[in-house]
């Protein structure tokens, strides 16, 4: 009975870890760690066990999520002619923005924090790219174009990472019952 209660707690913590992706936290890696702990401590003969193949798949998906988020942010900037400083500024700005957004949020319970975190991360990417372009000596119209691309790149990168996190969540939970 205790084993099933622990499995229920695992599923709840997996869902919370997945939700942490909305705040710019490493939710996919947290899900991998939780699955790894379950693999390590659960009896391999039980009917609720996660195998090494599933752990490998989760590791691959988590790495792909990070790569996708990073590349979308950088490529968003670079595809419109943004310089390296703009790409780096966009990545740094998005990290700072996601932290600020999590604390400031929007005054709607729970959803406001998610929206705030994503919005501020995207705005941070925009500001970082604008500063990077200004350091390079670009004019305002090009800087705004690059900043907008950084904003969209960060948005699509975050959504892609969250989507891959959804796959990790489904794969992990369903593997417990197979």
Annotated domain spans of the chain = 2-176
| 159 close to 26: Cβ distance less than 8 angstroms | no
Average pLDDT, integer, range 4-21: 94
pLDDT at 104 over 70: no
CA trace torsion 157, 163, 167, 170 (10° rounding): 140
| 57 close to 171: Cβ distance less than 8 angstroms | yes
Cβ-in-10-Å burial (0-12, 13-18, 19+) of 124 comes to buried
What's the pLDDT at 95? 72
119: nearest Cα among 133, 105, 108? 105
Per-residue pLDDT of 44-101, as tens digits, reads 887 788 999 999 999 999 999 999 988 887 888 788 777 777 777 777 777 777 777 6
Helix count and strand count (H, E) for the chain: 6, 0
Split at pLDDT 50, 70, 90, the class of 106 is low
pTM of the model: 0.80
What's the pLDDT at 109? 60
Per-residue pLDDT of 118-139, as tens digits, reads 777 777 777 777 777 677 666 7
| 151 close to 122: Cβ distance less than 8 angstroms | yes
| 158 close to 28: Cβ distance less than 8 angstroms | no
């Amino acid at each position: 009975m205790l084993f099933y209660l622990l499995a229920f707690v695992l599923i709840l913590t997996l869902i919370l870890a997945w939700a942490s992706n909305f705040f710019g936290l490493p939710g996919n890696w947290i899900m991998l760690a939780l699955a790894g702990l379950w693999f390590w401590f659960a009896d391999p003969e039980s009917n609720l066990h996660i195998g090494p193949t599933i752990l490998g798949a989760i590791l691959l998906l988590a790495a792909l999520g990070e790569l996708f988020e990073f590349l979308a942010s950088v490529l968003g900037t670079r595809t419109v002619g943004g310089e390296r400083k703009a790409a780096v500024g966009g990545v740094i700005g998005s990290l700072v923005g996601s932290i600020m957004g999590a604390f400031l949020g929007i005054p709607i319970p729970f959803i406001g924090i998610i929206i705030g975190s994503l919005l501020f991360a995207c705005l941070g990417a925009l500001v970082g790219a604008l500063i990077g372009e200004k350091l390079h000596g670009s004019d305002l119209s090009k800087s705004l174009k690059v900043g907008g691309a950084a904003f969209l790149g960060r948005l699509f990168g975050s959504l892609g990472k969250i989507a891959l996190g959804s796959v990790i969540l489904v794969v992990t939970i369903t593997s417990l019952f197979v």
